[in-house]
Amino acid sequence: MNGAEQLIRTLVSGGIKVCFANPGTSEMHFCAALDRVEGLECVLGLFEGVVTGAADGYARMKDEPAATLLHTGPGLANGLSNIHNARKAHTPMVNVIGEHATYHIEHDAPLNADIEGIARPMSDWVKTARNPTEVAATTAQAISEAQKAPGCIASLILPADAAWQDAGEFKQAPPVPTVRAARKVSKKALEHCARVIREEEDVLILLGGKTLRESSLEWAGKLVSHCGVSLMTEFAAARTQRGAGRVHVPRMPYVVDVALEATKRFKHAILVNTKPPVAFFAYPNKPSLLLSEDCQIHTLATVPEDGPQALVDLAKMLGAENAEIQRQPSDLPKMPSGKLDSDTISAVVANVLPEGAIVSDESISMGRNLLDFTKGCPPHDWLFITGGSIGQGMPLATGAAVACRDRPVLSLSGDGSAMYTLQSLWTQAREQLNVTTVIYANRSYAILHGELRNVGAQPGKNTRRLFDLENPYLNWVEMAAGMGVEGVRVETAEELQQAMNHGFSTPGPYLIEAIC
């Protein structure tokens, strides 16, 4: 049995069910071994950014790692943008990166690269299995490392000769080292935060990570009702469970001035599974921290610690365990009519979003009001772009749809962002995934126009040529058709409503180009 087969058997025995792949020559023995080992579903992506982004979406919905298969250093480099996003989301992921045979590296072939050096900045753990007898144990370690709290990126490099050489008999899977559960918060931190809530006014609890799941939000809601604190989520939240009947928590705004206005009254901020809120970028004469200068910051649970349990313990310590919870009512905006803009698209989405939907949101500037419009929708999951690197939304939706094939997925993306990873549509067509994609076709990098204003500059002719997507216009319906996905162009709220209803009610992928 060769090293490649040892690797796949160890992945399967370690609980890895799906591998998102874009293989090359160095991974041929891995591919061949797939026909000899059952239990690993492989999903092909036509670009490595689709592969890594889909693995992120899968893991966010399953709370377990997927694997990726990438081809040498350049293939890894193509996927790094969405590995960066996944790392910011604290997503568990096992990357398998093919390498030249060990004896071939010294000859500096065209694809030769420092794979460990490329992987390290975006990974929490990197290791090369240099001979076939190391493969199984190293793979088991990679699975364990990926599952360390709060979720880590493990990158395993497999030289071609380690894959094809005999690795001995595979009698049983090597034991996967014990997964490290999230650390319990200290009694000191609990008592300190409880004292702040009891004795101080204008207290904000800022939530992140798994505290944005329904069960944790219930405990946070008890604290609001019993103690009078306020809640807010981190801006770049990996997964939030929201909708009617759940506890609604406002999101930290993106725009610096809006965020400072929203947080200016708070004298104390308690962090739970998140860091102090900072602006995405620096701007002249504006602060980086999105809290008032006199706001004191307290940490209940660091990012790797057990925030959900900390909320339970804090509520009980404060006597809030039986408090009544204020739940979000089913309150939808009026169905709009006429030409599409940011508000009308948001209102249509709110009115047609089905219960149990998964929303992958990379609408960026055009969709900033979506959360206000959709907070009263039927219960659903919302996935945000986490690391700021665009091209995440469509792959994220693809992976979420693989993880939850029985649930409708809505992918919302600006046209500029979607061009980075439009190959996701092909994978959705091949896998017949229930993804409805809405492209905000404003024919520009709209966010860059806003950012130019934020730094006090005005666009000229050359600047506009860098920001606008025209001459020629992108034709999303034709691009989707070229990858096997049915699509339609819409210009009014009525047309968008009809198209979205069609997308949700029809099996397989569907694309809507919304001219706005």
What are the chain's domains?
Answer: 3-164 (3.40.50.970), 187-317 (3.40.50.1220), 342-515 (3.40.50.970)
Mean pLDDT, all residues of the chain: 95
Is pLDDT above 90 for 48?
A: yes
Which helix (H) or strand (E) segment is 31 a member of? helix 28-33
Residue 246: what pLDDT? 98
Q: What is the mean pLDDT of residues 10-38?
A: 95
* In the chain, % of residues over pLDDT 90: 90
Name the DSSP class of 176: P
| Whole-angstrom distance, CA of residue 470 vs CA of residue 444 | 8
The answer to whether residues 53 and 392 touch, using CB atoms and an 8 Å cutoff, is: yes
Confidence of residue 248 (pLDDT cuts 50, 70, 90): very high
Q: What is the mean pLDDT of residues 89-94?
A: 98
Is pLDDT above 80 for 467?
A: no
Residue 171: what pLDDT? 66
Is pLDDT above 90 for 448?
A: no
Q: What is the mean pLDDT of residues 385-400?
A: 97
Cis peptide bond upstream of 472, omega within 30: yes
The answer to whether residues 212 and 240 touch, using CB atoms and an 8 Å cutoff, is: yes
Residue 78: what pLDDT? 98
Residue 466: what pLDDT? 80
Is pLDDT above 80 for 476?
A: yes
The answer to whether residues 317 and 194 touch, using CB atoms and an 8 Å cutoff, is: yes
Residue 173: what pLDDT? 65
pTM for the whole thing?
0.95
Residue 361: what pLDDT? 98
Q: What is the mean pLDDT of residues 452-475?
A: 80
Is pLDDT above 90 for 457?
A: no
Confidence of residue 130 (pLDDT cuts 50, 70, 90): very high
Confidence of residue 172 (pLDDT cuts 50, 70, 90): low
| Whole-angstrom distance, CA of residue 164 vs CA of residue 187 | 52
The answer to whether residues 256 and 290 touch, using CB atoms and an 8 Å cutoff, is: yes
Residue 61: what pLDDT? 98
Confidence of residue 364 (pLDDT cuts 50, 70, 90): confident
Q: What are phi and psi of 377, to 5 degrees?
A: -70, 165
Is pLDDT above 90 for 465?
A: no
In angstroms, the Cα distances linking 97 to 148, 229, 250, 260, 450 are 21, 47, 40, 43, 39
Is pLDDT above 90 for 219?
A: yes
- The tokens describing 325, both together, are 């919870």
Cis peptide bond upstream of 150, omega within 30: yes
| Whole-angstrom distance, CA of residue 201 vs CA of residue 115 | 52
Cis peptide bond upstream of 287, omega within 30: no
How would you label 412-422 residue by residue, b for 16+ Cβ within 10 Å and e otherwise? bbbbbbbbbbb
Q: 171 CB contacts (<8 Å, ≥6 apart)?
A: none
Residue 386 identity: T
Confidence of residue 154 (pLDDT cuts 50, 70, 90): very high
Q: What is the mean pLDDT of residues 46-71?
A: 98
* In the chain, % of residues over pLDDT 70: 98
Q: What is the mean pLDDT of residues 171-186?
A: 76
